Structure 1
Amino acid sequence: MTFFRNYFALFLGLLGSIALAQDDQNDTQYKKRVLETTEVDFLSSYYSQDGDNAAVSGGIGTEQLTDATGTFVVSIPLNDDDILTIDAGVSAYTSASSSNIDPFDGGRRADPFVASSGASSGDVWVNLTGSYTHSSDDRNNIVSGMLSVSSEYDYFSLGFGGSYSRLFNEKNTEVSVKANVYLDSWNTIYPFELRAFGANGIGFFRPTEITGNVNYNPNFTEFDKTNRNSYSLGLGFSQILHRNLQGSLALDVVQQQGLLSTPFQRVYFSDVADSFIEDFQLADDVERLPDTRTKIALGGRLNWFVNELITVRTFYRYYFDDWGINSHTASVEVPVKISDKFTLYPSYRFYNQTAADYFGPYETHLSTQEFYTSDYDLSKYNANQLGFGASYTDIFAQLHIWEFGLKGIDLKFYKYDRDTTFRSYIITAGFKFVMD
């Protein structure tokens, strides 16, 4: 199943500025440290979604899911020029949709619109990322490297990469390049009813339990690949256009290879008679997608500092891939500073996309097709997201918890709606501490 898990991508940006000063006693120069002291960010979120087009049950059924995430980001200055950042996160979810990988392991009658209470109804995702950043003496060259490990019940991922940024034109211009590689391996888990027809065929229901087409015999084969490799390259350019105006452009290219289908997402064919146990329709097959995919995104930002109180941040991105999806994203955020310490963040985001070439709703695919999916994340849809946030900033970090001063608090709420039945909301909270 492809979850719409609006896992916020949360980053800690660290940019230093050069400072030259003259010592009255020995007339020597010094440079300012990129990061003065250790900083700790605690980030958390609560996410909830609902809908009636679950991919696990072939495009019908409940999409209910809740997820709670907690992340610690610790940035440690190793010396004047180098920073070590450690990012550790845990995400725990419960999903009515994924519980129906095996809809017959709960205490209630199997139904795609009702969650099963079995083992597949929840899981925990863990991640650990370490990065190292080095800035040149003049702070015009920034080099970083990254290594990450993450795991969930059905996959394991190893990632590594790096980036380089160059500032020039008195730091009014910046160009950057970044590259990442992620090597994922799947623990292939198939819908319960198909497991008897795989290579290791394990038991199944008695024939008398099947209604409808009682001669249930899907033409199912297991995937021969259980790995997925992703390679990404990003180019960035930013420019201060005016003292009140800053713009940036970005190009991102991603190449994926391997198992790009989700093994436990069912598909139902229109030319195969339906078979049921209780109120749950037995799968005709699982999602089948090509084993390569190329994604390209072009985007730009324009930030206008209207005055000391108001800033307007705009964003646009165009995306396309070789599966037939084209999308447009446009957003605007208007931070309003209501005092020296408090800022409000109203925002709006619009998104639309075309359907993938291989998408079809429930029971519209034919068994003779090579590729097929009923995952509505790959369908045609429009989406709107409204957001509101508030932040508290104290540059002097006067409030203390043990040896750490509280430098900032960020709270945000986002409500997301598609023009299908899908809807979600997410609440995020961030706390920044600095060591005295």
Structure 2
Amino acid sequence: MQLKQLVNISAALAAASCALLGQQAQAGTVLDDWQFNSAILLYNETDRVSAAEGVFTARGDFGDDKFLNLGLVVDALTGASATGAVAQPYVQSFTRPSGRGSYDVAAGDTPLDDTFHDTRVQLDASWEQPLAPNWRVSGGGHVSKEYDYLSLGLNGSVARDFNQKNTTVSLGLAYSHDTISPEGGIASAFAPMLLRRDFADDDSYQAAFAATRDRADDTKDTLDVLLGLTQVINRDWLMQFNYSLSVADGYMTDPFKLVSVVNSNGVVQQNLYESRPDKRTKHSLFWQNKLHLSGTFLDASYRYMWDDWELSSHTADVKWRLPMGEQWYVEPQFRYYQQSAAEFYLPFLQQDEPIPQFASADYRIGKMSAYTLGAKFGTKLAAGNELSFRIAMYQQTPENDGVVAPGVLAGVELYEKVTAVMAQVSYSF
């Protein structure tokens, strides 16, 4: 819930892992028919969130083109997370979302909750096999658990080959059911953040805090549909085109995020818990090309996403694998991302204006651009095993979408850049 803008670390790392699964296990062992990949990722934002993640995948060959895929992901997140409240030219005090404890933010600083921490464990399993000549099916599921979030999911796909297996059409379906149980419960829409110092004693504070809570937990259901077309253009060129649809229904508000209410001078009068719609429909188009160019390999892709929150995004990603002798290779990467703001994104609320039905000051759904610049180094080892290292820098730049900052807000940073460094080690055998 806290870090969906962490460039989807789990998905990206799992994809990198799967790319290495073509290596065969050493013959003559009890694991002849299994392929394994392991990876460790470290992610660190300047003065904000740090993450450490480990991934282990296994692919078993049971003959007749039947395969079992297993996966384990463990990650730990710590650091400071932006609350959504605006900076002020004076010290601000905040209550933690649990209602227990408080913290102060220095003058001019972006309010960050510095006690953010979480650990997540995810298990995946799937089975794939032929269904008939030129037909292939797969099915599986996942379970993911963190401190205040549980996700259960099922997925399946069917693929049909045409044109002497040079053309493949596929259809995939996935369903997930998530339960959100934040510490302290779920706040009512636009409930005020209360401060212990404003109450005569702890009992009166606790009673007032309980009155701002609506329920202990809530759920969200998501259905994803993927239509894909893969085409072999020639012996050196493979192209893929996908359309995906995602329909979510349920609790999609971030229970930890605030939105500040300011007066005509830009001074905060109170901080309210945000509120988002309980439905979201997303569409995306994805186009990828893999080319062999004079001994090098180019992987270029583009994705366009749009939804009924009026948020749209463009993502371009280019990787170019270059050989360095017989054993080593280097793969530079550049990724660019740009998105518009959701229709209910507001960096703050004006005191003299009515509160809208929905509002969020979470910069992750605001107007922004971001880029990733990195490189991967890999080598072939004995028995076909592979070892690789990746280092990358990520910078995210929130942007003003035409909002005029009144009074003191003109003198503080409302759209602070986020810079992160990522390091990854992968080993396949």
Q: Could you say if the C-alpha distance between residues 225 and 424 of structure 1 is closer, same or farther in structure 2, counting changes exceeding 3 Å?
A: same
1:188 maps to 182
Which residue of 27, 34, 40 corresponds with 1:38? 34
Give 1:259's match in structure 2, choosing from 245, 248, 251. 251
Shift in Å, 1:390: 1.1
Q: 2: CA distance between counterparts of 1:381 and 1:110?
A: 25
- 1:317-337, Cα deviation, whole Å (9 max, x unpaired): 111000011111112111101
Q: Which amino acid aligns with 1:288?
A: S
Who is 1:323 aligned against? 309
Aligned to 1:169: 163
Provide the residue aligned with 1:73 in structure 2.
Answer: 57
Which of 300, 311, 314 lines up with 2:297 in the alignment? 311
Query: Which residue number in structure 1 is paired with residue 282 of structure 2?
Result: 295
In the superposition, relative to structure 1, how do residues 116 and 233 fare at CA in structure 2: closer, same or farther (>3 Å)? closer
Q: TM-score, normalised by structure 2?
A: 0.77
Q: Normalization by structure 1: what TM-score?
A: 0.76
* Alpha-carbon shift at residue 168 of structure 1 (Å): 2.4
Query: Any idea what the Cα deviations from partners look like across 1:155-199, whole Å, max 9, x if unmatched?
Result: 11101111112222222111111110110001034599x79x98x
Aligned length: 375
1:83–1:241 Cα change, 3 Å: same
Superposition map of 1:335-354 within 5 A = 335-354=321-340
- The range that moved more, 220-229 or 313-322, is 220-229
1:239 pairs, out of 231, 235, 244, with 231
CA contact (8 A) 1:327 1:353 kept: yes
Instruction: Tell me the secondary structure at the aligned position of residue 121 of structure 1.
Output: strand
Partner of 1:24: none
**Counterparts of 1:225 and 1:109, CA distance in 2:** 28
Q: Distance in 2 between matches of 1:282 and 1:40?
A: 56
Residue in structure 2 matching 1:49, options 45, 49, 61: 45
Identify which of 213, 216, 230 aligns with 2:222.
230
Residue number among 319, 332, 355 corresponding to 2:341 in the alignment: 355
Cα distance in structure 2, aligned partners of 1:159 and 1:151: 12
- Does residue 132 (structure 1) correspond to residue 127 (structure 2)? The answer is yes
Secondary structure of the residue aligned to 1:377 is helix
Tell me the distance in 2 between the aligned counterparts of 1:146 and 1:155: 21
What displacement does 1:48 show? 1.2
Structure 1 unmatched ranges of 5 or more: 17-34, 51-61, 210-215, 276-280, 399-405
Structure 2 stretches lacking a partner, 5+ long: 23-30, 84-93, 202-207, 399-416
Deviation at 1:73, TM superposition (A): 0.9
Which residue identity is paired with 2:163? Answer: N
- Equivalent pair of 2:182/2:216 in contact (CA under 8 Å): no
Per the alignment, in what secondary structure is the counterpart of residue 269 of structure 1?
strand
- Whole-angstrom distance in 2 between the partners of 1:13 and 1:388: 16
Distance change in 2, residues 1:392/1:218 (3 Å): same
Q: Quote how far apart the aligned CAs of 1:393 are.
A: 2.4
Give, as a single letter, the amino acid of the residue that structure 1 aligns with 2:81. S
Matched residue SS, 1:96 = strand
Q: Distance in 1 between matches of 2:76 and 2:20?
A: 29
Residues in 2 aligned to 1:374 and 1:329: alpha-carbon distance in whole angstroms: 23
Give, in angstroms, the shift of residue 78 of structure 1.
Answer: 2.7
The aligned residue for residue 72 of structure 2 is 88
Match of 2:260 in 1: 268
Contact 1:46 1:428 in 2 (8 A): yes
Residues 197-223 of structure 1, C-alpha deviation per residue, up to 9 Å, x if partnerless? 98xx999445379xxxxxx99994526
Measured in 2, the distance between the counterparts of 1:108 and 1:271 equals: 23
Q: Is the 8 A contact 1:245 1:305 kept in 2?
A: yes
Can you list the C-alpha shifts for 1:45-90, whole angstroms capped at 9, x where unaligned? 001124xxxxxxxxxxx7x000000111122223333221211111
Residue 27 of structure 2 aligns with which residue? none
Quick one: structure 1 residues 14 and 425, their matched pair in 2 at CA, closer, same or farther if it must change by over 3 Å?
Answer: closer
1:334 corresponding residue in structure 2: 320
2:366 paired residue number: 379
- Out of 88-97 and 254-263, give the one that drifted further: 88-97
Partner of residue 415, structure 1: 393
Percent identity over the alignment is: 25
Q: In the aligned structure 2, how far is the partner of 1:77 from the partner of 1:101?
A: 53
Say which of 377, 387, 396 aligns to 1:390. Answer: 377
Counterpart Cα distance in 2 of 1:77 and 1:85: 9
Cα separation, partners in 2 of 1:98 and 1:241, compared to 1, 3 Å: same
CA distance in 1, matches of 2:219, 2:363: 23
Relative distance call for 1:344 and 1:38 in structure 2 (3 A) is same
Q: 1:319 to 1:300 in 2, by over 3 A?
A: same
Secondary structure of 2:325 counterpart: coil
Q: What's the offset of the Cα at 1:304? A: 2.2
Distance 1:220 1:253, change over 3 A: same
Give me the whole-angstrom Cα distance separating, in 1, the residues matched to 2:378 and 2:95.
41
- Provide the residue aligned with 1:59 in structure 2: none
C-alpha distance in structure 2 between counterparts of 1:108 and 1:357, whole Å: 31
Report the CA distance between 1:340 and its aligned residue.
2.8
Residue of 389, 412, 426 corresponding to 2:422: 426
After superposition, the Cα gap between the structure-2 partners of 1:124 and 1:87, relative to the gap in structure 1 and judged at 3 Å, is same
CA distance in 1, matches of 2:263, 2:212: 15
Cα distance between partner residues in 1 of 2:236 and 2:45 = 39
| RMSD of aligned residue pairs (Cα, Å) | 3.6
Q: Distance in 2 between matches of 1:377 and 1:71?
A: 26
Residue 158 of structure 1: which of 152, 156, 160 is its match? 152
